[in-house]
Structure 1
Amino acid sequence: MSHNPPLTDWHGKTVWLLGASSGIGEATAHALHAQGARVVVSARNAAALDAFARTHAGAVALPLDVTDPAAVRAAAQTVLAGGTLDLVLYCAGYYKAMRATGFDLAGMLRHQQVNYVGALYLLDAVLPALLQRGSGHISLTGSVAGYRGLPNSLAYGPTKAALINLAETLYLDLQGSGIGVSIVNPGFVETPLTAQNSFSMPALLTPAQAAAEILAGWARGEFEIHFPKRFTRWMKTLRVLPHALYFPAIRKFTGL
């Protein structure tokens, strides 16, 4: 049984993607446009959004900073005024490797503002309209880094763990309301964020492959869309290990 109403026909549907100037967000916007959706793209990089809109007929560029609640609210009002909002994807992300020995409060808070608090600003701006209409879909981009604590993920991991918990609770609260909720938990995808990693990334996907997985997950009505399975299933196994086994396993696999 599907967890959410399956999303298979995108023709004439309006989708709003936040964090769509590069990586997974841009690739998903491209894939949705190819399926006939009316795509609204947001991010800070106005030039990248304008380039996307020029090459995707009917697409709308709405530049904004997700850490600015007034900007998110104003953009949401513009999107909602344009008609029915059928799906919103929050994929704005910030990542810098950090370990406790190099604890940086400003960096910790920057991750929190972009990765998590921005999603709260979005919910505040769109949830009342979706509830009033009794339809639509909210999708948040988490990460397998949110499953359990990992070295180098001191700032990033907790924000993704928070998004996973938020999505689970939203799903429970909104079930039966007509509103779908999904969490996207990718493994490693070739993006500007992962380009910073100096280690070998197993099962690395292109953004286009990630976008295809996301659309397939929405079509199946899945709550959690995780990929690539050959990597994420291994991460899920680690998730259920007791701490006495988990910590040594992570040290062995990462060398950290």
Structure 2
Amino acid sequence: MKRVLITGATSGIGLGLAKRYSANHQVIACGRNSEVLQQLSKEHGVVAKAFDVTDSDAIASNFAELQPLDLVILNAGGCEYIDNPNQFDGKLFERVMQVNLISIGYCLEHLLPKIKPGGQLCIVSSSSVYLPLPRAEAYGASKAAITYLARTLTATLNDIGVTVVHPGFVETPLTDKNDFPMPCIVSVEQAVSEIEKGLEKRKAEIHFPRRFTYILKLLGLLPFSMWLPIAKRIAS
């Protein structure tokens, strides 16, 4: 039985992954919602750890006594948009960077030494990294940094497989707040299946739904001068 640690395990993709992996593995589920964690522990037998990933001291104390891990999935994150870039919200930018990016650094400090040789690290980013999108100055920048970090770790870590996940739109409490069309949106169950299959194959990148992400990848190959008028039309 493998030992799997998942952050952001109290909602959305993280919750779905915790339930899926708990069927055959020992899962350490991390999140802020203690009630959901208690329910996960009761119904699925996970080891629950309630803390905020932006709190480096809490991470240190919760991860200090961990036994060796086979798989770590860093999934915790948030999403806020900058509606008016002419009135740039520095505090919003800081919040998004703290929860999406800096917290991963805190986790890596304490979790990388816990991953067994031959184990796996999975970092959940976003398909927004393929294109600069309006309103995503904070969110997109944080996810682009995550992808760069993951790919650098892929090239530099010894004895640990690294996977970066680039989901499209997934039906979660985060996307429920979106006030714009979300093409090709998939369910949490579909997202979990794609991630699980990709990790089984030890893929360096997992992206889905492909009919959406391949379009973004192709658009991302355009010179920025060709993408710019499209982005401005979207923003207007």
TM-score (norm 2): 0.95
Higher fraction of strand: 2
The equivalences for 1:20-39 within 5 A come to 20-34=9-23, 36-39=24-27
1:111 and 2:96 equivalent?
Answer: yes
Residue 94 of structure 1 and its aligned partner are, at CA, apart by: 1.0
Once superposed, what is the RMSD of the aligned Cα atoms?
A: 1.3
Among 182, 205, 212, the alignment partner of 1:231 is: 212
Assess if the C-alpha contact under 8 Å between 2:3 and 2:26 holds in 1: yes
In the alignment, the residues of structure 1 paired with residue 41 and residue 221 of structure 2 have an alpha-carbon distance, to the nearest angstrom, of: 44
1:137 and 2:120 equivalent?
Answer: yes
Among 52, 75, 94, the alignment partner of 1:91 is: 75
How many percent identity over aligned positions? 38
Can you give the 5+ residue segments of structure 1 that lack an aligned partner in the other structure?
A: 1-11
In the alignment, the residues of structure 2 paired with residue 125 and residue 164 of structure 1 have an alpha-carbon distance, to the nearest angstrom, of: 20
Among 195, 209, 212, the alignment partner of 2:193 is: 212
In the alignment, the residues of structure 2 paired with residue 171 and residue 250 of structure 1 have an alpha-carbon distance, to the nearest angstrom, of: 31
Secondary structure of the corresponding residue to residue 62 of structure 1 = strand
Assess if the C-alpha contact under 8 Å between 1:146 and 1:159 holds in 2: no
1:172 and 2:155 equivalent?
Answer: yes
Q: Once the two structures are superposed, what CA deviation does each residue of 1:77-112 show, in whole Å capped at 9, x if it has no partner? A: 2333xxx20111111111112131342111100001
Assess if the C-alpha contact under 8 Å between 2:70 and 2:119 holds in 1: yes
* Partner residue in 1 for 2:131: 148
Assess if the C-alpha contact under 8 Å between 2:131 and 2:216 holds in 1: no
1:73 and 2:82 equivalent?
Answer: no
- One-letter code aligned to 2:113: P
* Partner residue in 2 for 1:60: 47
Can you give the 5+ residue segments of structure 2 that lack an aligned partner in the other structure?
A: none
Residue 134 of structure 1 and its aligned partner are, at CA, apart by: 2.4
In the alignment, the residues of structure 2 paired with residue 255 and residue 163 of structure 1 have an alpha-carbon distance, to the nearest angstrom, of: 24
How many residues of Structure 1 are paired with residues of Structure 2 in the alignment?
235
Moved over 4 A (4+): none
In the alignment, the residues of structure 2 paired with residue 140 and residue 170 of structure 1 have an alpha-carbon distance, to the nearest angstrom, of: 11
Q: Once the two structures are superposed, what CA deviation does each residue of 1:190-243 show, in whole Å capped at 9, x if it has no partner? A: 111111111110011111110000001111221110000010000111111101
